Structure 1
């Protein structure tokens, strides 16, 4: 009985490729070995068998391009002059991150309070979540009033 790769297998293999960890090299051999577990086969499928499946091929090319761009970002990133400079930057960014988290928590509490009070006042959730009105440009208003 010939081994077939079903649509479900294709989706799972494509998902595996999309979730491929950045720290591991992505090549067809590794994909074939990963696909072997998904397919439940004794031997890994061939590169050609996987490459015939459009979703797998597109996922592979897309992930390869993404990994290439990520690697380029790391190369282009400015390096600190010393370990001390790097530690100072990390400390500063952690403090900034903590401040932003605290601010976000306060804003979430305020939003919850406003929603609660508005609900008590009789406003529905739909009314509260209605989009803001658009502001028309002054020229449009002038043109409309002169007609």
Structure 2
């Protein structure tokens, strides 16, 4: 009796690929070895057998794209020269983040106060949130 990969196996293998740990390299050999445990086979399935299953193929390609995008994003970030530099930068960013959160909170409070007072004055919330009118520049006079 030939071994088959059922739909349930296919979903479990695709889920394994989606949850692939970041520190480990994603390649077909590793996926085949991981699939062996899910399938309960003595030997791992072939890459071709897994590649034929659409859910597995799509999950593999999506995870590869995600890992490549993360790697590209990390390559653009400059590395600190030392641990001390990194700690200083983290501290500075945390302080800046806290200051921005406080400022945002104050602005939200002010916006709520303005909306409340405008509502008391008879303006509806929809009227207050209407977009600003566009300002048109006067056209240059035509020479005759």
Asked if Structure 1 and Structure 2 have the same fold, meaning a TM-score greater than 0.5 normalized by the shorter chain, the answer is yes
Deviation of 1:93 after TM superposition, in Å, equals 3.9
Worse-matched range after superposition: 83-92 or 47-56: 83-92
Following superposition, which runs of at least 4 residues in structure 1 exceed 3 angstroms of deviation? 92-97, 132-139
The residue aligned with 1:74 is 74
Give me the whole-angstrom Cα distance separating, in 2, the residues matched to 1:42 and 1:96. Answer: 56
Give me the whole-angstrom Cα distance separating, in 2, the residues matched to 1:2 and 1:136. Answer: 66
Which of the pair has more CA radius of gyration? 2
The residue aligned with 2:38 is 38
> Which runs of 5 or more structure 2 residues have no equivalent in the other structure?
106-124, 135-144
Q: TM-score with structure 1 length normalisation?
A: 0.64
Deviation of 1:94 after TM superposition, in Å, equals 4.6
Worse-matched range after superposition: 51-60 or 84-93: 84-93
> Which runs of 5 or more structure 1 residues have no equivalent in the other structure?
107-131, 140-147
1:33–1:96 Cα change, 3 Å:
farther
1:37–1:85 Cα change, 3 Å:
same
Deviation of 1:85 after TM superposition, in Å, equals 1.4
Secondary structure of 1:22 counterpart: coil
Give me the whole-angstrom Cα distance separating, in 2, the residues matched to 1:89 and 1:136. Answer: 39
The residue aligned with 1:129 is none
Deviation of 1:84 after TM superposition, in Å, equals 1.8
> How is 1:104-115 mapped onto 2 (pairs within 5 angstroms)?
none
Deviation of 1:3 after TM superposition, in Å, equals 0.8
Q: More helix by proportion, 1 or 2?
A: 1
Q: TM-score with structure 2 length normalisation?
A: 0.65
> How is 1:1-147 mapped onto 2 (pairs within 5 angstroms)?
1-94=1-94, 99=98, 135=130
